[in-house]
C-alpha cells in the first residue's frame, strides 16, 4: 500500500472513531466538565450502576431487544425458507422487494404508521391504554424481520441447491431435511441476522418513541429525554459500555465467518463449524439467562399503578444516594392503601419522560398514553385547559396545596374558578457573563447582548420565541400582544445584533460559557448556577428594562391530571401530587432540579436554605420574588394566535437567512454538485445509447 | 442380463414454464442393467432422472416401479438413491457421518452403522478417511463419498447425474472403471446421465440417446455407434460425414455424384436418404484410384491420426488417416461397402455431418451450460 493510501485510511479511521474515543475518555473523567480532563476515575460508572431509573431502562431495552430479535429471527428464517423455495421467480422477486421496502422507509414513517395502527385497533377493541410493552414489541419485531430475511437469504442461495434433495433422497422427510441439513448451512446467517436485529432493536429510538406507552421506557428514550437538563457523564459511561458490547457482538458475528454476505470461496472446515456451534450455544445461553431473570422478577400481587409523564431529569431519583421520590411514594402509598383495604396492595409508579410540551401534547391529544399525572409548562397548561384535555383537581385530596405560595396559586394560565394544576417548579431567564472579560458597568440589562465591545463572544438563543423575546424585553415590547410593527422592530434589533453574535445556541451554551469560548449568554437561573459551579469566573443577573423593572421570561411547570383518567385513578394521581408537595420529596426534588420551588415547606426549610447557600439568593432573589406576579402577568410567554406564530416563523427565517453569504454559498455549491451529477448521468446515458445504436437492433434475439 | 423390468416410464411428458422438456417418453429399465441417458444439454435426460428420483412429478404418463405406479410417492419413500452432479455432500458432517446419514435416519444400531460404513469405505477405497472434513477432499474423493453415501441404503436403483463431469480426464477414466466394477459387484441397476458419448459407450449395457425431449434411439453401445437411426445420433456419437444420397436399389446408393455398393436394403426405389460414413472408415488413395476426389482444406495432427478436411463436390468431408497429406493437395478417397450406413430422412437431416463450420471450441461451449431443471 502506498504511503498516501495509508494516511488516507488512517484519516478515515480517525474520523470514524475519534468521537467514540473522546466519549470513552470522558466517561473516566473525574469531574463532570466537558472541556477538561481532570483525572481518571470510575465515578460515573459507579453512579450509573446506582441510578435505578437508568438501570430499569437498560433492563427494559434488553428484554425488548432479546424478545423482539428472537421472535423476528424465527419468523424471518421461516420467511426466508419460504421465499427461497418459491417456484415462481417473479413472485419471489416481488416478495423480496416488498421485504426490502421497510428498510428503505424512513423510520419516522414506520413509527407513526405503527402508532396509528395500534391506536386504531385499540379503539376497535375498546382498550383504554393501547400503547405499551406489547405494541413496542410488535413494532420492533416488525422492523427486524426484513433484516433477518436479508441476512438468511444469501445463505440459502449459497447453499448447494441439491443438498435438500440429497437429504430427501437419503430418506429425510421435508422437516428432517430442513432441520438436519439446511439449518446447519444457514445457521451463520441466522446468528448474524439475530445479532443485527438485536443491535437495531437496542438502539432504536424513533419507532420506539411512537409506539411506546406509559410505564415502559427504553434506554435511548431515556437518554434523549435528558435534554431538558444536561446529559450527565454517567451517560458517557453507559454509551461506552453499549459501544463495547456492540463491538463484542460484531466480533462474534465476524467470528462466525459471516462477513456481510460476501460469498465464501474457501470451504468452511468442520473445526470452524464446531467453533460456530459454541458461539451459537453461548449466545443463546446468555439470552436464556437474561430472559429467565427477567421473568422471575415480574411476579406480582395486587398492584395499583400510577403512570407519571414528566420531563427528563426532573425528579429526585435516588441516584448518588439521594432521596428516591417515586420509590418513597410507592412505599408510603402502599402502606396507606393496604391499611385502607385490609390487604397488601403494591403501588407501582410508571415514570416516563418527554422532551417538549409539543410531544406531550401530541400524546395527550391522541389519547393513547394512559397517563395519570403530567407536568406541562404554563402555556401548555392553558391550552390543555382550553381544549378540555385536563380535568379539575379535587383540592380536598391535595391538602398540601396550602403550602404553595399565594403568588403561585392562581397563575395566568390557570386562574379560573376550578383549579387544574399545581405548580411544580418555575425558572427565570437571566444573563450569564464572564467577570474576567465583562465590565461591571455594562451589566444590568438586555443590552449587554448588544454590546459591541464583546462582539464575537455573545450567544443568542437558537429558538425563535426566546431570541425575539430578548429583543422585545430590551425594547419594552409586550411579548404576547406585540403588533406586526413591533415584531418587525424586534427583528431589526436581532439583525443589528447578528454580526456581534458568536453563535445561536441551546444546550451548547454550557460548553461555550464554561470553556470561556463565549462570554455572554442568557439561560435559566438554575442552569446558570451549575455553570458557575464549573467555572467560578461566571456570574449571573436578572436583566431589567430601561424603566428599571425586571423584564425577563419566567416559566412554570405544573402537575395536571388528563381528562381520560378514571375516578379511581384520579384519587391515586392526586395522592401522588399531594405526596410530591410534602416536605421530604419536595425538598429532594427542589435540590435535584435546582429551579425555583413555589412550596413554602421548601423555601422556608433551614436545611434547604443551607444546602443552596449563596445560590438561594440567586434563585429566590428577594427583588425578583416581589415581582413574580408582574413577571407572570407581563413577561411569561402565552400561546400566540396562529397568524402571529406564522409571522414569528417568517421573521425568524428572515433573520437566519438574511445577508448570510455562507448559506447562499451552500445552496450554490449543492446546486452545482447536483447539476454535475445529473449532467454526468445524462452523459453516461447518451454515450451508452450512442454505442449501442450501431448494433442494438441488429443483434438477433437469443434465448 | 436379467429380463425383469424394474422401472418403466409410460408416455411421460413434462414442461416447465410452458416449455416442453419431455415429450411422451417410453422407457424400460431392467434389473442389474447399466443404462446411460445420453444427450446434449437441455435434451431432458436430467429431468428424466429427476422424475425417477421423485424430485419432479410428470405432467402426464406413468412411472412404474416393480409394476406399481409411484408418480406421487415422495423421494424419501422410494428405494432409489442419487449421486448428484456436484456430489451435494453435507458440508457440516465429516466423511463417516455423511455416509452414515441414511442409516442414522433409520435409527440403525451404532455397531451395524459402523460395519456398513466401513464396508462402503472399503468398496470406494477410502478407508482411513472417516474423520476427514468433506470440504477438504479432492473432487475424486468427494465423488467416492457421494457414491458410498448413496449405496449404503442398498437401493434397488442408483441414479447418477453426470457424476464425473467435474473431474479431470485422467481421474474420470479411473472412476469410470471403478463405477463399472461397483455396479458389477453390487448388482444394482445404474441409471447414468451424461453428455459424454465416450463415457456412455464404454460403460453402459444400454444407451438411450435423447434430443429435444425425445428418445432418439435405444440400444447397445455397438448398435448405437454402427447403426445410428438418424442424423442426430450419427453425429452425436462419434464423428460422422452425413451426406444426402438417393437409394437406387437394394445395396446400391448414390451420393456425391457416384454410385456406391452398400449393405443396406429395404428402402423404396429412389428414396432420398442420409448416408453416414465414419471418418476412420475412409481410405486416402491416389486420385486415379479413388472413387471420389477432392482438395485438402486442412490437416490437423491428433496424435493417433491426422484429421483431414477435404472438399468433395462442395461437401466437406472429415477423414482420419495415419498417413500425412499436404494441404491443397488433390487426393482420392475409397469407401468400402461395409463402411456405408444408410438412414431414413428425419427432422435432423441436413443439420449435421458437414464439417465446413467444424470447430472443437464450439462443441465444448455447448457443454459448459449446465442443464437447468
- Please tell me the predicted confidence (pLDDT) of residue A393: 92
Q: What residues of B are in contact with residue A160 (Cβ under 8 Å)?
A: 86, 88
Partner residue opposite B106 with nearest CB, options A171, A267, A270: A171
What domain range is B342 assigned to? 240-368
- Please tell me the predicted confidence (pLDDT) of residue B356: 65
CA B237 to chain centre: 8
Query: Does the beta carbon of A166 lie under 8 angstroms from any beta carbon of chain B?
Result: yes
Q: Is residue B232 part of a domain?
A: no
- Please tell me the predicted confidence (pLDDT) of residue A696: 67
CA dihedral sign of residues A11, A17, A21, A23: positive
What domain range is A141 assigned to? 46-296
Verify that B15 and B133 share a domain, yes or no. Answer: yes
Cα separation of A150 and A80, whole Å? 8
Verify that A536 and A597 share a domain, yes or no. Answer: no
Cα separation of B61 and B282, whole Å? 45
Task: Please check whether residue B35 is in contact with residue B205, taking contact to mean a CB–CB distance below 8 angstroms.
Answer: yes
Q: What residues of B are in contact with residue A185 (Cβ under 8 Å)?
A: 91-92
Going by C-beta distance under 8 Å and a sequence separation of 6 or more, which residues neighbour residue A197?
Answer: A68, A69, A72, A73, A76, A144, A147, A148
* CATH (domain of B111): 3.40.50.300
Q: Is residue B334 part of a domain?
A: yes
- Percent of the residues in chain B that have a pLDDT greater than 90, as a whole number: 27
Task: Please check whether residue A235 is in contact with residue A226, taking contact to mean a CB–CB distance below 8 angstroms.
Answer: yes
Verify that A58 and A177 share a domain, yes or no. Answer: yes
Cα separation of B284 and B309, whole Å? 12
Verify that B222 and B244 share a domain, yes or no. Answer: no
Looking at chain B, which residue has its C-alpha nearest residue A162?
B88
Looking at per-residue confidence, does B338 or B360 come out higher? B338
Q: Is residue B127 part of a domain?
A: yes
Verify that B198 and B262 share a domain, yes or no. Answer: no
Where is B320: in which H helix or E strand? Answer: strand B315-321
Location of C-alpha cell 390557570? A414
Verify that A105 and A209 share a domain, yes or no. Answer: yes
Q: What residues of A are in contact with residue B133 (Cβ under 8 Å)?
A: 269-271
Give the mutation candidate from A87, A160, A162, A166 for the B interface (greatest B CB count, under 10 A).
A166
Indicate yes or no: CB of A165 within 8 angstroms of CB of B82: yes
Verify that A447 and A416 share a domain, yes or no. Answer: no
Confidence of residue B207 (pLDDT cuts 50, 70, 90): very high
Q: What residues of B are in contact with residue A162 (Cβ under 8 Å)?
A: 84-86, 88
Cα separation of A65 and A203, whole Å? 9
Verify that B78 and B162 share a domain, yes or no. Answer: yes
CA dihedral sign of residues A360, A361, A366, A372: positive
Partner residue opposite B135 with nearest CB, options A166, A169, A268: A268
* CATH (domain of B323): 2.40.50.140
Q: Is residue B218 part of a domain?
A: yes
Instruction: Provide the greatest CA pair distance for chain A.
Output: 98
DSSP H helical segments within A28-106, as ranges?
43-50, 52-84, 89-104
Around B23, how many Cα atoms within 13 Å sit in the side-chain half-sphere?
12
- Please tell me the predicted confidence (pLDDT) of residue A575: 92
Verify that A343 and A256 share a domain, yes or no. Answer: no
Q: Is residue A503 part of a domain?
A: yes
The complex scores an ipTM of 0.81
- Please tell me the predicted confidence (pLDDT) of residue A662: 53
Query: Does the beta carbon of A163 lie under 8 angstroms from any beta carbon of chain B?
Result: yes
B154: left (phi over 0), alpha (psi -120 to 50) or beta: left
- Please tell me the predicted confidence (pLDDT) of residue A79: 92
Verify that B298 and B151 share a domain, yes or no. Answer: no
Q: Is residue A585 part of a domain?
A: yes
Indicate yes or no: CB of B91 within 8 angstroms of CB of A268: yes
Q: What residues of B are in contact with residue A166 (Cβ under 8 Å)?
A: 82, 84, 88-90
Verify that B79 and B186 share a domain, yes or no. Answer: yes
Verify that B205 and B316 share a domain, yes or no. Answer: no
In the predicted structure, residue B248 carries a pLDDT above the cut 70? yes
Determine the distance in angstroms separating the CA of B43 from the nearest CA of chain A, rounded to an integer.
Answer: 16
pLDDT in tens, B35-64: 999 998 888 899 999 999 999 999 999 999
Q: Is residue B231 part of a domain?
A: no
Verify that A415 and A434 share a domain, yes or no. Answer: no
- A residues 289-328 near B, CB within 8 Å? none
Determine the distance in angstroms separating the CA of B293 from the nearest CA of chain A, rounded to an integer.
Answer: 39
Verify that B258 and B179 share a domain, yes or no. Answer: no
pLDDT in tens, A563-618: 888 888 899 999 999 999 999 999 999 988 888 899 998 888 898 888 888 888 88
Looking at per-residue confidence, does A59 or B254 come out higher? B254
- Please tell me the predicted confidence (pLDDT) of residue A349: 85
Cα dihedral value A516, A521, A527, A533, nearest 10: 30
Q: Is residue B233 part of a domain?
A: no
Cα separation of A492 and B133, whole Å? 81
Verify that A413 and A458 share a domain, yes or no. Answer: no
The CA-atom distances, in angstroms, between A180 and each of A171, A173, A271, B147, B366 are: 12, 10, 18, 20, 37
Verify that A415 and A463 share a domain, yes or no. Answer: no
Task: Please check whether residue A345 is in contact with residue A304, taking contact to mean a CB–CB distance below 8 angstroms.
Answer: yes
Q: Is residue A174 part of a domain?
A: yes
Indicate yes or no: CB of A168 within 8 angstroms of CB of B54: yes
In the predicted structure, residue A227 carries a pLDDT above the cut 60? no
Verify that A289 and A435 share a domain, yes or no. Answer: no
In the predicted structure, residue A65 carries a pLDDT above the cut 50? yes
Location of C-alpha cell 463415457? B199
Determine the distance in angstroms separating the CA of B99 from the nearest CA of chain A, rounded to an integer.
Answer: 10
- Please tell me the predicted confidence (pLDDT) of residue A697: 65
The CA-atom distances, in angstroms, between B290 and each of A250, B251, B284, B305 are: 81, 20, 8, 20
- Kindly report the average pLDDT of chain A as a whole number: 83
Going by C-beta distance under 8 Å and a sequence separation of 6 or more, which residues neighbour residue A405?
Answer: A598, A599, A600, A603
Q: What does the angle CA B221 – CA B225 – CA B230 come to, to the nearest 5 degrees? A: 120
Indicate yes or no: CB of A165 within 8 angstroms of CB of B84: yes
Number of folded domains in chain B?
Answer: 2
User: Of A279, A296, A313, at which residue does a domain stop?
Assistant: A296
Strand pairing partners for A521?
Answer: A432
Looking at chain A, which residue has its C-alpha nearest residue B106?
A171
Strand pairing partners for A429?
Answer: A524
pLDDT in tens, A138-165: 999 999 999 999 999 999 888 888 898 8
pLDDT in tens, B73-98: 999 888 899 998 888 899 888 899 99
Q: Residue A619: is it exposed, middle or buried by C-beta count within 10 angstroms (0-12/13-18/19+)?
A: buried
Verify that A210 and A242 share a domain, yes or no. Answer: yes
Q: What does the angle CA A93 – CA A96 – CA A98 come to, to the nearest 5 degrees? A: 110
Cα separation of A347 and A340, whole Å? 13
In the predicted structure, residue A485 carries a pLDDT above the cut 50? yes
- Please tell me the predicted confidence (pLDDT) of residue A37: 77
Verify that B67 and B197 share a domain, yes or no. Answer: yes
Indicate yes or no: CB of A169 within 8 angstroms of CB of B82: yes
The CA-atom distances, in angstroms, between A551 and each of A117, A509, A637 are: 47, 21, 12
> b/e for B149-184, b at 16 or more Cβ within 10 A?
bbbbbebbbbbbbbbbbebeeeebeebbebbeebbe
* CATH (domain of A594): 3.40.190.10
* CATH (domain of A191): 1.10.3720.10
Indicate yes or no: CB of A169 within 8 angstroms of CB of B74: no
Query: Does the beta carbon of A172 lie under 8 angstroms from any beta carbon of chain B?
Result: yes
Location of C-alpha cell 438411450? B208
Q: What does the angle CA A607 – CA A613 – CA A619 come to, to the nearest 5 degrees? A: 100
- Please tell me the predicted confidence (pLDDT) of residue A202: 85
Going by C-beta distance under 8 Å and a sequence separation of 6 or more, which residues neighbour residue A171?
Answer: B76, B102, B105, B106, B153
Partner residue opposite B90 with nearest CB, options A163, A267, A271: A163
DSSP string, A142-173: HHHHHHHHHHHHHHHHHS-TTHHHHHHHTT--
Report pTM: 0.61
Q: Is residue B36 part of a domain?
A: yes
Cα separation of A269 and A185, whole Å? 12
Q: Is residue B373 part of a domain?
A: no
- Please tell me the predicted confidence (pLDDT) of residue A45: 82
Number of folded domains in chain A?
Answer: 4
pLDDT in tens, A522-563: 988 888 888 888 888 999 999 988 778 888 888 899 999 998
Chains A & B: contacts with CB separation below 8 Å: 72
Verify that A355 and A444 share a domain, yes or no. Answer: no
Indicate yes or no: CB of B76 within 8 angstroms of CB of A165: no
User: Of A296, A321, A340, at which residue does a domain stop?
Assistant: A296
CA dihedral sign of residues A696, A698, A699, A702: positive
Cα separation of B227 and B233, whole Å? 9
- Please tell me the predicted confidence (pLDDT) of residue A664: 63
The CA-atom distances, in angstroms, between A694 and each of A509, A688, A699, B188 are: 66, 11, 10, 59
- Please tell me the predicted confidence (pLDDT) of residue B12: 92
Verify that B39 and B137 share a domain, yes or no. Answer: yes
Cell of A289: 439467562
Cell of A287: 439470552
* Phi, psi at B343, each rounded to 5°: -125, 150
- Please tell me the predicted confidence (pLDDT) of residue B371: 39
Verify that A82 and A221 share a domain, yes or no. Answer: yes
Task: Please check whether residue A618 is in contact with residue A525, taking contact to mean a CB–CB distance below 8 angstroms.
Answer: yes
Verify that B201 and B301 share a domain, yes or no. Answer: no
Cα separation of A536 and A436, whole Å? 10
Verify that B119 and B244 share a domain, yes or no. Answer: no
Determine the distance in angstroms separating the CA of A186 from the nearest CA of chain B, rounded to an integer.
Answer: 11
Average pLDDT over residues B214-243: 89
Going by C-beta distance under 8 Å and a sequence separation of 6 or more, which residues neighbour residue A168?
Answer: A174, A177, B54, B55, B74, B75, B76
Amino acid at each position: 500500500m502506498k504511503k498516501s493510501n495509508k494516511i488516507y485510511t488512517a484519516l478515515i479511521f480517525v474520523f470514524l472513531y475519534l468521537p467514540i474515543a473522546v466519549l470513552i475518555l470522558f466517561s473516566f473523567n473525574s469531574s463532570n466538565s466537558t472541556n477538561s480532563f481532570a483525572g481518571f476515575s470510575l465515578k460515573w460508572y459507579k453512579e450509573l450502576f446506582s441510578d435505578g431509573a437508568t438501570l430499569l431502562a437498560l433492563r427494559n431495552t434488553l428484554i425488548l431487544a432479546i424478545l423482539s430479535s428472537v421472535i423476528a429471527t424465527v419468523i424471518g428464517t421461516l420467511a426466508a425458507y419460504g421465499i427461497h423455495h418459491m417456484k415462481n421467480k417473479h413472485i419471489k422477486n416481488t416478495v423480496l422487494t416488498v421485504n426490502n421496502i421497510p428498510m428503505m422507509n424512513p423510520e419516522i414513517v414506520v413509527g407513526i404508521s405503527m402508532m396509528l395502527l395500534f391506536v386504531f385497533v385499540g379503539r376497535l377493541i375498546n382498550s383504554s391504554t393501547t400503547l405499551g410493552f406489547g405494541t413496542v414489541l410488535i413494532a420492533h419485531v416488525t422492523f427486524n424481520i426484513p433484516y433477518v430475511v436479508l441476512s438468511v437469504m444469501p445463505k440459502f442461495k449459497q447453499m448447494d441447491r441439491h443438498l435438500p434433495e440429497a437429504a430427501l433422497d437419503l430418506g429425510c422427510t421435508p422437516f428432517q431435511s430442513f432441520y438436519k441439513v439446511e439449518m446447519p448451512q444457514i445457521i451463520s446467517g441466522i446468528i448474524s441476522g439475530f445479532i443485527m436485529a438485536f443491535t437495531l432493536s437496542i438502539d432504536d429510538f424513533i419507532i420506539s418513541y411512537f409506539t411506546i406507552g406509559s410505564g415502559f421506557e427504553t434506554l435511548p428514550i431515556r437518554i434523549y429525554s435528558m435534554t431538558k437538563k444536561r446529559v450527565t457523564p454517567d451517560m458517557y459511561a453507559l454509551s461506552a459500555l453499549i459501544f463495547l458490547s456492540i463491538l463484542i457482538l460484531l466480533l462474534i458475528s465476524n467470528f462466525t465467518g459471516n462477513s456481510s454476505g460476501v460469498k465464501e470461496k474457501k470451504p468452511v472446515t468442520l473445526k470452524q463449524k464446531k467453533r460456530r456451534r459454541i458461539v451459537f450455544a453461548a449466545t443463546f445461553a446468555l439470552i436464556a439467562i437474561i430472559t429467565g431473570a427477567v421473568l422471575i422478577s415480574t411476579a406480582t400481587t395486587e398492584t395499583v399503578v400510577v403512570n407519571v409523564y414528566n420531563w427528563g431529569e426532573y425528579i429526585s431519583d435516588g441516584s448518588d444516594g439521594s432521596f428516591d421520590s417515586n420509590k418513597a411514594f410507592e412505599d408510603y402509598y402502599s402502606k396507606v392503601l393496604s391499611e385502607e383495604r385490609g390487604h397488601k396492595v403494591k403501588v407501582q409508579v410508571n415514570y416516563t419522560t418527554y422532551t417538549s410540551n409539543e410531544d406531550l401534547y401530541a400524546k395527550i391529544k391522541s389519547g393513547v398514553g394512559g397517563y395519570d399525572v403530567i407536568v406541562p409548562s404554563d402555556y401548555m397548561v392553558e391550552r390543555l385547559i382550553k381544549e378540555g384535555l385536563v380535568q379539575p383537581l379535587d383540592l380536598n385530596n391535595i391538602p398540601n396545596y396550602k403550602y404553595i405560595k399565594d403568588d403561585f396559586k392562581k397563575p395566568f394560565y390557570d386562574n379560573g374558578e376550578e383549579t387544574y394544576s399545581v405548580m411544580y417548579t418555575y425558572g427565570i431567564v437571566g444573563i450569564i457573563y464572564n467577570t474576567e472579560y465583562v465590565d461591571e458597568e455594562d451589566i444590568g440589562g438586555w443590552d449587554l447582548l448588544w454590546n459591541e465591545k464583546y462582539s464575537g463572544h455573545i450567544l443568542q438563543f437558537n429558538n425563535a420565541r426566546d431570541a425575539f423575546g430578548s429583543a422585545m424585553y430590551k425594547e419594552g415590547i409586550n411579548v404576547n400582544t406585540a403588533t406586526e410593527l413591533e415584531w418587525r422592530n424586534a427583528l431589526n434589533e436581532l439583525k443589528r445584533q447578528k454580526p456581534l453574535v458568536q453563535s445561536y445556541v441551546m444546550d451548547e451554551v454550557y460548553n461555550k460559557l464554561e470553556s470561556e469560548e463565549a462570554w455572554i449568554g442568557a439561560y435559566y437561573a438554575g442552569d446558570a448556577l451549575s455553570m458557575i459551579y464549573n467555572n467560578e469566573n461566571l456570574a449571573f443577573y436578572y436583566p431589567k428594562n430601561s424603566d428599571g423593572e425586571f423584564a425577563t421570561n419566567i416559566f412554570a411547570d405544573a402537575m395536571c391530571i388528563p381528562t381520560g383518567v378514571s375516578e379511581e385513578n384520579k384519587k391515586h394521581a392526586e395522592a401522588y401530587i399531594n405526596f410530591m408537595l410534602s416536605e421530604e420529596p419536595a425538598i429532594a426534588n427542589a435540590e435535584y432540579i435546582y429551579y425555583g420551588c413555589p412550596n413554602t415547606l421548601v423555601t422556608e426549610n433551614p436545611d434547604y436554605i443551607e444546602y443552596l447557600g449563596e445560590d438561594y439568593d440567586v434563585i429566590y432573589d428577594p427583588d425578583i420574588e416581589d415581582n413574580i406576579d408582574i413577571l407572570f402577568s407581563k413577561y411569561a410567554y402565552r400561546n400566540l394566535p396562529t397568524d402571529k406564530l406564522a409571522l414569528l416563523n417568517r421573521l425568524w427565517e428572515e433573520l437566519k437567512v438574511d445577508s448570510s453569504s455562507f448559506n447562499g454559498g451552500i445552496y450554490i455549491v449543492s446546486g452545482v454538485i447536483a447539476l454535475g451529477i445529473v449532467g454526468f448521468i445524462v452523459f453516461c446515458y447518451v454515450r451508452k445509447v450512442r454505442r449501442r445504436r450501431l448494433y442494438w437492433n441488429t443483434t438477433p434475439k437469443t434465448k | 442380463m436379467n429380463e425383469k423390468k424394474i422401472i418403466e416410464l409410460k408416455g411421460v411428458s413434462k414442461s416447465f414454464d410452458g416449455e416442453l422438456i419431455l415429450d411422451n417418453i417410453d422407457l424400460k429399465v431392467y434389473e442389474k442393467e447399466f443404462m446411460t441417458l445420453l444427450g446434449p444439454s437441455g435434451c431432458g435426460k436430467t429431468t428424466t432422472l429427476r422424475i425417477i428420483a421423485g424430485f419432479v412429478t410428470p405432467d402426464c404418463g406413468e412411472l412404474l416401479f416393480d409394476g406399481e405406479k409411484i408418480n406421487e410417492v415422495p423421494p424419501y419413500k422410494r428405494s432409489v438413491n442419487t449421486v448428484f452432479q456436484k456430489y451435494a455432500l453435507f458440508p457440516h458432517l465429516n466423511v463417516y457421518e455423511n455416509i452414515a446419514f441414511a442409516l442414522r435416519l433409520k435409527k440403525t444400531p451404532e455397531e451395524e452403522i459402523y460395519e456398513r460404513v466401513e464396508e462402503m469405505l472399503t468398496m470406494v477405497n477410502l478407508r482411513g478417511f472417516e474423520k476427514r472434513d468433506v470440504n477438504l477432499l479432492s473432487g475424486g474423493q468427494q465423488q467416492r463419498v457421494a457414491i458410498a453415501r448413496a449405496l449404503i441404503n442398498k437401493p434397488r436403483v442408483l441414479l447418477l447425474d453426470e457424476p464425473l463431469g467435474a473431474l479431470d480426464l485422467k481421474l474420470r477414466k479411473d472412476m469410470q472403471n471403478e463405477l463399472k466394477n461397483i455396479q458389477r459387484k453390487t448388482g444394482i441397476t445404474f441409471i447414468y446421465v451424461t453428455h459424454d458419448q465416450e463415457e456412455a459407450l464404454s460403460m453402459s449395457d444400454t444407451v438411450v440417446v435423447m434430443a429435444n425431449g425425445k428418445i432418439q434411439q435405444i440400444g447397445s453401445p455397438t448398435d448405437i455407434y454402427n447403426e445410428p437411426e438418424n442424423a442426430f445420433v450419427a453425429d452425436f456419437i462419434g464423428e460422422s460425414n452425413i451426406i444426402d444420397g438417393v437409394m437406387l436399389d437394394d445395396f446400391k446408393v448414390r451420393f456425391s455424384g457416384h454410385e456406391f455398393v452398400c449393405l443396406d436394403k429395404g428402402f423404396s426405389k429412389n428414396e432420398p436418404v442420409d448416408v453416414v460414413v465414419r471418418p476412420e472408415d475412409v481410405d486416402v488413395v491416389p486420385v486415379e484410384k479413388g472413387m471420389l476426389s477432392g482438395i485438402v482444406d486442412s490437416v490437423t495432427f491428433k496424435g493417433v491420426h491426422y484429421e483431414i478436411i477435404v472438399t468433395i463436390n462442395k461437401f466437406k468431408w472429415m477423414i482420419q488417416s495415419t498417413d500425412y497429406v499436404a494441404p491443397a493437395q488433390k487426393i482420392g478417397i475409397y469407401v468400402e461397402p461395409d463402411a456405408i450406413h444408410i438412414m431414413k430422412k428425419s427432422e435432423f437431416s441436413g443439420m449435421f455431418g458437414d464439417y465446413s463450420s467444424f470447430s472443437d471450441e464450439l462443441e465444448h461451449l455447448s457443454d459448459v451450460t449446465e442443464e437447468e431443471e
